Amino acid sequence: MISEKLEKELNEQINAELFSSYLYLSMAAYSGSINMDGAAKWFQKQAQEELEHAMKFYHYLEERGGRVLLTAIKEPKKEWKTLEEAFKEAYEHEKYITGRINKLMDLAVAEKDYAAQSFLNWFVDEQVEEEASTLAIYEKLKMVRDYKGGLFMVDRELSQRG
Ligand code: OFO
């Protein structure tokens, strides 16, 4: 059985993952609105992945005898000045999520909840990838900046995400 404190924090993490999904879907819509269709596809996939993260927490909480309690998802930002700015914020958001995962791990360690630590390890590894991928795209966009040809090349590359 999971502790009440961890149950509360895992419920908050479900909300944070759902918000991540909502934020990336909003970035997808923004990308589509400026004809960056590859980026729109990339963000849609990312939004889908975040839903999967939320469901991982959902199922885990149930498995451990906790109760899933859903709360309101905050409205995401809708406009960015450039695609570069959107990816910069995606990277910053991932760093914020890493901080949340680390706090969850701190709690699991403090409570000597070994099962929760093992579960959270997947997210610790996943965050390394999430930060690396958003940072790499942000860096590329920063490099091409006002060069339209470069921007289209990055967009085409983003459309390859399987
Ligand atoms: Fe982007 O990793 Fe979940 O939130």
CA of 137 to the centre of ligand 1 (A): 16
CA of 87 to the centre of ligand 1 (A): 14
Q: Does the pLDDT value for residue 150 go beyond 90?
A: yes
Contact status, residue 54 vs residue 14, Cβ threshold 8 Å: yes
Q: Does the pLDDT value for residue 162 go beyond 90?
A: no
**Of the candidates 44, 32, 41, 34, which has an alpha carbon nearest to the alpha carbon of residue 148?**
34
Write down the mean pLDDT value for the chain: 97
Residue-wise pLDDT for 89-98, tens only, equals: 999 999 999 9
Q: Does the pLDDT value for residue 146 go beyond 90?
A: no
Residue-wise pLDDT for 48-77, tens only, equals: 999 999 999 999 999 999 999 999 999 999
Provide the token pair at 141. 């966009």
Domain limits for position 148: 4-158
Here the CATH number for the domain that contains residue 38 is 1.20.1260.10
Residue-wise pLDDT for 11-55, tens only, equals: 999 999 999 999 999 999 999 999 999 999 999 999 999 999 999
Verify whether ligand 1 is closer than 6 Å to residue 93 (CB atom): no
Domain tally, the chain: 1
Tell me what pLDDT residue 1 has: 86
Tell me what pLDDT residue 125 has: 98
Ligand 1 atom closest to the CA of 53, numbered from 1: 3
Ligand 1 atom closest to the CA of 21, numbered from 1: 4
Verify whether ligand 1 is closer than 6 Å to residue 50 (CB atom): yes
Residues shown for the chain: 162
Mean pLDDT of 117-131: 98
Tell me what pLDDT residue 97 has: 98
Tell me what pLDDT residue 15 has: 98
At residue 16's C-alpha, the angle toward residues 59 and 135, to 5°, is 115
- The C-alpha atoms of residue 60 and residue 49 are separated, in whole angstroms, by 17
Verify whether ligand 1 is closer than 6 Å to residue 130 (CB atom): yes
